[in-house]
Structure 1
């Protein structure tokens, strides 16, 4: 992949990514990158060619479940779910058929897709014609207005009655809106997720082998990883890449080698300074990767489809050795490159001089919020509870795939190498109470790109982050 071709692929400019960041929350969660991954044109085009196969698989699974269940005549109750994810649409539709057979309740899956979802949700709220249920994303600033306007049932009482058993303790912490949250929302739980998202490194063993390296034992420390990336660069292959839109997540992930979750959260809230040794060490990693020749083409992809560009290079072109991405990328690979099954995932290597065990960014992914003003909120609650039971989450994992939020739905002994790295981080994710400000996220993206291009120093970028925090 030459530089000219790479630049043509990335299109757009950094300002486009910055504008997107300013328009919505970039809190490190699966929803943010899931949206980025799913919105790209490459995924959408390739998905069209494989959708029939995915739908058939999901339908077959549903048919089997339906046969096993007692067929119940439709009872006239109809629910509508506004779904954000195209990648999960076939699995949701299959589960809706199973639910109809078991309960007689008809659930219509209205899939908007990640590009149009928030626009459709806003239009529905303004017209007062909200669906019975809608995708609850881990994008706090985007979802809070609907929750505050009374369009989401507080699920805390149901959790207290025993529903909480379907979620890990870390997920429960992440989905709970606490007193004094920056969005001013009443304390409670307003969405129930069925997936968990973590971030890790995707690796192509074939490219490692070309450089005389064996990826069967992934690098454990960052110095070891960088040394391997140098050898890959010397073998004339592209070593490493991450999307510009994921750079803040990448730095947040790495700084956990030096800061606790509370210290990261306090930094995001403006109570601790950005200009500290911990954040300096984290940003220095970009400089070290740059100086080692580890960053493919000496530039990060930018623009609204930057993550899609990186995923295309890794999954479709297959000329990239490693790529930093979220667990959602596994479903992207299954959709766009179903024959590429030799890649693996592994945790981001820990810092050689780290003081703490690193924790992944991520946490809860997509799920559902219930409209308490709908015609059948109690029936919608029954459906969402059913969706988070182990059997349904396991079916979602098998057909999408995704990491289930219900700890009883994941059999770690049967995981593929593509999923193992992500799943190993499920209990090692950060729990951050303060979201990263959009202005800081924008400054982080611009600053890291400037480090890659040798336009600014680490301390200059830290100054920019301090200024953005005060703005």
Structure 2
């Protein structure tokens, strides 16, 4: 199977503040809005706004704006290329003698560290290495992956650029990025043992088609897993205890019923986004893919997770995608008092610190199988065309060294490196309950890779949104709402297989 890079992709869910304000997205994954304001993920690009992460992108975080025309001109295409693997040649002692000119491609998302911290990092690195010059190149979110493919086609790639775990396999298959595992295995200061295994796994390739497993094609900056935030004064005024250990999806629905009054809606989740819905589905023991049979796992556990998420939307106590969009996005809706509770992740913290009320965070609620949360990471890819891989690697080490301090101080990361586990700089309030981010990282669940699950070109987002609308809006039974979803996904899997990404969990704390 050869993947294609067609849209703004998985990241659009990751970059929340800009994302939420300009496109009305939620969570760690992205979608594109229908005329009704639906938050669906579209496998083709048009003028309609994306209305997630994420990702990244959650989960993630998020992107903005239109990503193309109704009938976009085809992007330059490339044939699947053998993976380029870096071979380190420099040593720590040689680092002061570094020289060369680099370009750093930064997605132009002002207000987020993936953009705001690039130039300060360049300045501090080049001060240490005067023989190195680095040009920061802004790349607009519109058609981001298309631009990278176009740059590659004319051999004009930035040496380092913004990436996301949802793009790892796509970029690797297209020959866009360099496999940095040889550096991670050889460097005494930043090696595989320095990272939490879950962070290595989400940025590693899976065995899919001709692509080998275990290659490192992204360096993530944070362990980002969905949680929820709550307005403390609203809960206290309603006579509700603050969420604690054992808080369940039944509790969440009951809290939302009590809190939904007047213009206030109890909870705002990304209910039609499969990356976010993966959390409650997993909490009830469900999952998307039977990898061996290459069919969807639509069983009682799967349905139970969806009912926990979708039934309160029908009831009017969980917000609809349209209500979230009308509030300016989940963060603005929470800060403005429209939502008493809201889904988010650690990258939500800088935006929520603008709140004038006290708030805190909790893991997603428990189901019959505990808590699970969709998640991922954003960070950096290294171009397969770079002429200075050793210099870029030294820059990567600097990013995770002195240049990482502002990231921690900004409150938007759970560090992916063990060395920062007890560093107080990323644990400053608000919120008070940073342990929730750590516990959430232990519960991470990642969507499958490949086939209809592709973050660029797959049908999963649109099909899942269709099931949501049949059940929630049209009032169909759960079985009737899921039948076309299951049929279409299974047909797509028959033509192009997918792989589950199982994550080993080891996190700070």
Fold shared per TM-score above 0.5: yes
Offset of residue 321 of structure 1: 0.5
Partner of 2:392: 380
Partner secondary structure for residue 284 of structure 1: helix
Offset of residue 454 of structure 1: 4.6
Offset of residue 446 of structure 1: 2.1
235, 245, 258: which one aligns with 2:284: 258
Instruction: Check 1:452–1:269 CA distance in 2 against 1; reply closer, same or farther (3 A cut).
Output: farther
Instruction: Check 1:270–1:467 CA distance in 2 against 1; reply closer, same or farther (3 A cut).
Output: farther
Report the Cα distance in structure 1 between the residues aligned to 2:414 and 2:172, rounded to whole angstroms: 25
Partner of 1:215: 242
Report the Cα distance in structure 2 between the residues aligned to 1:242 and 1:101, rounded to whole angstroms: 44
CA contact (8 A) 2:177 2:384 kept: yes
Offset of residue 249 of structure 1: 2.2
In the alignment, structure 1 residue 320 sits paired with structure 2 residue 332: no
In the alignment, structure 1 residue 361 sits paired with structure 2 residue 361: no
Range 131-140 or range 420-429, more displaced: 420-429
146, 156, 171: which one aligns with 2:181: 156
Report the Cα distance in structure 1 between the residues aligned to 2:288 and 2:323, rounded to whole angstroms: 27
CA contact (8 A) 1:257 1:357 kept: yes
Partner of 2:363: 347
Report the Cα distance in structure 2 between the residues aligned to 1:28 and 1:73, rounded to whole angstroms: 38
Report the Cα distance in structure 1 between the residues aligned to 2:145 and 2:328, rounded to whole angstroms: 20
Report the Cα distance in structure 2 between the residues aligned to 1:306 and 1:77, rounded to whole angstroms: 49
Report the Cα distance in structure 2 between the residues aligned to 1:153 and 1:307, rounded to whole angstroms: 41
Partner of 2:465: 445
Q: Structure 2: 5+ residue runs without aligned partners?
A: 1-22, 26-32, 67-94, 493-509
Instruction: Check 1:33–1:290 CA distance in 2 against 1; reply closer, same or farther (3 A cut).
Output: closer
| Mapping of residues 171-320 of structure 1, within 5 Å | 171-179=199-207, 181=208, 184-187=210-213, 188-215=215-242, 217=244, 220-234=247-261, 237-243=264-270, 247-259=273-285, 264=287, 266-267=289-290, 271-290=294-313, 292-296=315-319, 299-301=320-322, 309-315=329-335, 317-320=336-339
Partner secondary structure for residue 130 of structure 1: coil
Partner of 1:60: none
447, 457, 462: which one aligns with 2:482: 462
Higher helix share: 1
Instruction: Check 1:75–1:278 CA distance in 2 against 1; reply closer, same or farther (3 A cut).
Output: closer
Partner of 1:422: 437
Instruction: Check 1:380–1:439 CA distance in 2 against 1; reply closer, same or farther (3 A cut).
Output: same
Which deviations, in whole Å up to 9, do the C-alpha atoms of 1:65-87 show, x marking residues without a partner?
xxxxxxx9997622111122531
TM-score, reference length from structure 2: 0.71
Partner secondary structure for residue 42 of structure 2: helix
Bigger relative contact order, structure 1 or 2 (CA pairs below 8 A, ≥6 apart): 1
Report the Cα distance in structure 2 between the residues aligned to 1:269 and 1:15, rounded to whole angstroms: 37
Report the Cα distance in structure 2 between the residues aligned to 1:307 and 1:462, rounded to whole angstroms: 29
Offset of residue 279 of structure 1: 0.9
TM-score, reference length from structure 1: 0.76
Report the Cα distance in structure 1 between the residues aligned to 2:357 and 2:120, rounded to whole angstroms: 25
**Residue correspondences, number:** 413
Report the Cα distance in structure 2 between the residues aligned to 1:77 and 1:211, rounded to whole angstroms: 61
CA contact (8 A) 1:237 1:321 kept: yes
